[in-house]
């Protein structure tokens, strides 16, 4: 899969590599490998609509991107002017995100499969999700049940 403008990955083999072996790769899956920003936005918009408030604007979304727990912060609540206490919204929003249809259908972003294929030269690698650490074998099987990351890493097979 070629992504226009993206540099091509070097072809590496087990016998000859121009780089030392990869020992660690750290990245945040949220928004990088899966469509989490879209999922969160849909869930928050649902809660805003339920309370008679307008949907996220591009401007407010841009201010909140990359800020941990941003929908519980001052900027969001000043803008949203919700008729419920912050604590109630803080309880409802993760609940809405996990029960939303979109959450169950997380999709990988373009290039995810190619990135994960790049790790095929290893015997496996460790993956940390929000609720556990798991070792992913060459076949891509993630050793813990019921997490959407299992489906993501099965893209490698």
What is the per-residue pLDDT across 12-26, written as a single tens digit (0 to 9) for each?
556 555 777 766 666
Residue 45's pLDDT is 92
Q: Please tell me whether residues 70 and 123 are part of one structural domain.
A: no
**pLDDT above 70 coverage of the chain, percent:** 46
9 found inside a domain: no
Mean pLDDT in residue range 119-147? 51
The conformational region for residue 81 under phi > 0 = left, psi -120 to 50 = alpha, else beta, is left
Q: Please tell me whether residues 116 and 97 are part of one structural domain.
A: no
Greater confidence (71 vs 2) lies with 71
Q: Please tell me whether residues 97 and 117 are part of one structural domain.
A: no
Strand partners, 137: 124
Q: Please tell me whether residues 41 and 88 are part of one structural domain.
A: yes
Mean pLDDT in residue range 33-49? 83
- Total count of domains within the chain: 2
d(CA 73, CA 153): 33
DSSP-H helix ranges across 1-157: 36-50, 58-64, 74-80, 86-99, 101-104, 112-117, 148-153
Mean pLDDT in residue range 48-63? 90
Does this model's pTM top 0.85? no
Q: Which residues, including other chains, have CB under 8 Å from residue 106's CB and lie 6 or more apart?
A: 34, 35, 36, 39, 148, 151, 152
Range of the domain at 128: 112-156
């Amino acid at each position: 899969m070629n992504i226009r403008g993206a540099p091509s990955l070097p072809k590496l083999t087990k016998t000859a590599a121009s780089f030392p072996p990869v020992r660690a790769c750290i990245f945040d899956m949220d928004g990088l490998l899966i469509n989490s920003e879209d999922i969160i936005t849909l869930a928050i918009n649902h809660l805003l609509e339920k309370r008679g408030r307008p949907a996220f604007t591009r401007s407010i979304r841009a201010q909140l991107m990359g800020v941990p727990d941003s929908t519980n912060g001052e900027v969001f609540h000043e803008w949203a002017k919700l008729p419920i206490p912050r604590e109630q919204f803080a309880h409802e929003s993760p609940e809405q995100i996990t029960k939303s249809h979109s959450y169950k259908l997380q999709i990988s972003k373009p290039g995810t499969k190619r990135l994960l294929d790049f790790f095929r030269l290893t015997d496996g690698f460790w993956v940390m999700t929000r609720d556990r650490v798991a070792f992913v074998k060459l076949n891509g099987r993630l050793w813990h049940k019921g997490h959407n990351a299992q489906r993501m890493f099965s893209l490698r097979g």
